[in-house]
């Protein structure tokens, strides 16, 4: 898994939060997806782009992270954290 980094994307439609189909080796996770307008430095014309934070996983990392066993552990940990916070 890589660290989060900022991406500027010119695609027309909203990018998915998790993209598994565009690469045979990599899964992309995105957050804080928003659309922004900027001026083209060459023409001065406004254009719209998607801006978001993204990190990448290898397919093996993503499969491990989304396995039922790992999800069960994450749910148990969340329940424990909530119990501690309520003390």
Residue pLDDT, tens place only, 15-63? 999 999 999 999 999 999 999 998 988 999 999 999 999 999 999 998 8
| pLDDT reading at 70 higher than 70 | no
pLDDT of residue 45: 93
Strand, helix or coil at 76?
A: helix
Confidence of residue 83 (pLDDT cuts 50, 70, 90): confident
pTM: 0.71
Confidence of residue 69 (pLDDT cuts 50, 70, 90): low
Q: Which two tokens stand for residue 84?
A: 């501690």
Distance, CA of 36 to CA of 23 (rounded, Å): 26
pLDDT of residue 18: 94
Distance, CA of 71 to CA of 23 (rounded, Å): 24
Closest by CA position to 27, among listed 36, 37, 17, 35: 17
pLDDT of residue 7: 97
pLDDT of residue 37: 94
Q: Which two tokens stand for residue 10?
A: 């010119």
């Amino acid at each position: 898994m890589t660290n989060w980094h900022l991406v500027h994307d010119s695609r027309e439609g909203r990018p998915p939060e998790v993209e598994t189909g565009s690469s045979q080796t990599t899964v992309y996770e995105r957050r804080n997806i928003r659309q922004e307008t900027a001026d083209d430095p060459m023409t001065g014309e406004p254009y719209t782009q998607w801006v978001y934070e993204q990190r990448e996983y290898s397919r093996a990392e993503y499969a491990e992270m989304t396995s039922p066993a790992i999800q069960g552990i994450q749910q148990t940990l969340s329940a424990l954290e909530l119990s501690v916070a309520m003390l």
